[in-house]
Structures are given as C-alpha cells and as structure tokens.
Amino acid sequence: MSEQIQLKLVDFSCYNLKPINLQLKAAETISISGESGSGKSLLLRAIADLIPHKGQCFFRGKEAHTFAPYQWRKQVAYLAAESQWWFDTVGEHFSQPLSEQTGLYLKHLGFELETLNWEVSRCSTGERQRLAIIRLLVNNPGVLLLDEPTANLDSDNAQQVEKSLLQYQQQTQCSIIWVAHNKKQIQRIAQRQFEIKNATLVELPGMETQT
C-alpha cells in the first residue's frame, strides 16, 4: 500500500526541532508523545502548513504547494488542543445545506440537530471540542492531525470520540497522527508509537503494525 502522507526533511529548526522524515499508509494511525514544549503541536501545524517550514509534505503523492491552502487543510485536517470558533452560533461553522452525515456525527457524539442553534459561548470546553471534531469530519479529510483530542473530555465522551474517529478511519481509510500521552489510549488507537526526544522524532519499539 502506498503512502498516504509523506514528510521529507520537514524542518522548522527555528523552533528547535530537527528535520523529520515520516510516512503513513492509508488507514494507519501513529501516536506522538513528548514533554511539554518538545514540538508536538508545532509538528502538526507544520504538516497542516500553518507555520513556516522547509522540506516537502505530500498527500497521496502530490506536494502541498500544488494545492490551494484551503484545499490542503481540508484534506490534511488539523484539530488544535483548544478549538477555535469565529461566529456566534455553532451552525454558522457548518456548510449549508447540512449533509445527512453531519446529523449522524452529531448523534454519535451526543448532540441533536438543535445543537447547531446554540450560541458557542454557552458550550463547555468539552462540547466545543466534540463539535470541532464533527466540523473536521464533515469535510471528509484524508489525514487527521489530532492534538490531544480527548484531553478535555470525561472518560465516556473520550471513548465515544475514539470510537467515532476510528469508525471514520475504517470507512474512509484516512491516516491519523494523534498526539497523546495516555498509554492505554495509545495502545488502543495506534499501530506505531513515536516520541519527541532531544528535538528528534524517534519511533519506539514494541508496537505491532497492523496490515
């Protein structure tokens, strides 16, 4: 199976992280851990082309610069640890008319269609995070860059998010780079495990790669 996402000497050394080579196949999930400030979020933001960097990023064999920026970020989708909202209501952040899939995602993550009428300001941090995940998935990305997506969720909601993301992966064969620290979660979601140590991304032994 060919690589779905590929990084060649991606370098943003001004942020004290050494150049990175990395490949993910379709339907593969890797986890990235590391100390606070080691560069995990910066790496995801570089892949999403949200910060300056050197090197090359490819999606299904096509280099990032051949995409319009919005097209790249739609296919290689980044979820920040704290989601950002620009409009007053939840529904203003979703394309109209709503797809049937949007309603299903809402239901799977504990919401109703009425939720789209809510003021963003009334949503808890956990609700905003789950809604941001739905906002991401409705664009049908081929790569998910997830920065601790369940960190602000209780156990039940965290498990439901895991389930929904992995179901989406099964349906679409998307690749996932998942920043995580919980070892049990990493064992559940990842085929390969990486850690940023001494400004270097290293693969850790002991994970069985699924085929």
CA distance 35 to 17: 13
Query: Total domain count for the chain?
Result: 1
Give a yes or no: residue 162 inside a domain: yes
Cα pseudo-dihedral 147, 151, 155, 161, rounded to 10: -30
Structure confidence at residue 207 as a pLDDT band (50, 70, 90): low
Q: Is residue 114 part of a domain?
A: no
Report pLDDT for 16.
Answer: 76
CATH number, position 73: 3.40.50.300
In a domain, 120, yes or no: no
Q: Do the bridges between strand 76-79 and strand 62-63 make them parallel or antiparallel, or are there none, so unpaired?
A: unpaired
Note down the domain range covering 67: 3-84+143-204
Radius of gyration over alpha carbons of the chain, in Å?
17
Q: Is 207 helix (H, G, I), strand (E, B) or coil?
A: coil
Query: Which residue reads 């909202």 in tokens?
Result: 85
User: In the structure, what pLDDT confidence band is assigned to residue 13 with cuts at 50, 70 and 90?
Assistant: low
User: Residue 141: helix, strand or coil by DSSP?
Assistant: coil
Please check whether residue 149 lies inside any domain of the structure: yes
- 126 is a domain residue: no
Has residue 20 got a pLDDT over 60? yes
Residue 133 lies in a domain: no
**pLDDT tens digits for 28-57?**
999 999 999 899 999 999 999 999 888 999
Q: What per-residue confidence (pLDDT) applies to 15?
A: 72
Looking at the domain assignment, is residue 39 inside a domain? yes
Quick one: pLDDT at residue 2? Answer: 67
Q: What are phi and psi of 178, to 5 degrees?
A: -120, 110
Q: How do residues 134-188 score in pLDDT, each as one tens digit?
A: 999 999 999 999 999 999 999 999 999 999 999 999 999 999 999 999 999 999 9
pLDDT at 210: 40
| Mean of all residue pLDDT scores within the chain | 92
Quick check: 201 and 55 in contact, CB under 8 A? no
* pTM score over 0.75: yes
d(CA 122, CA 106): 17
Residue 209 has pLDDT above 60, yes or no: no
Residue 169 lies in a domain: yes
Tokens representing residue 174 in the block: 């998307």
- Three-state secondary-structure class, residue 78: strand
Pick from 33, 132, 30, 115: nearest CA to 80:
132
Q: What is the pLDDT of residue 173?
A: 97
pLDDT at 137: 97
Q: Which of 9, 2, 10 has its CA nearest to residue 44?
A: 10
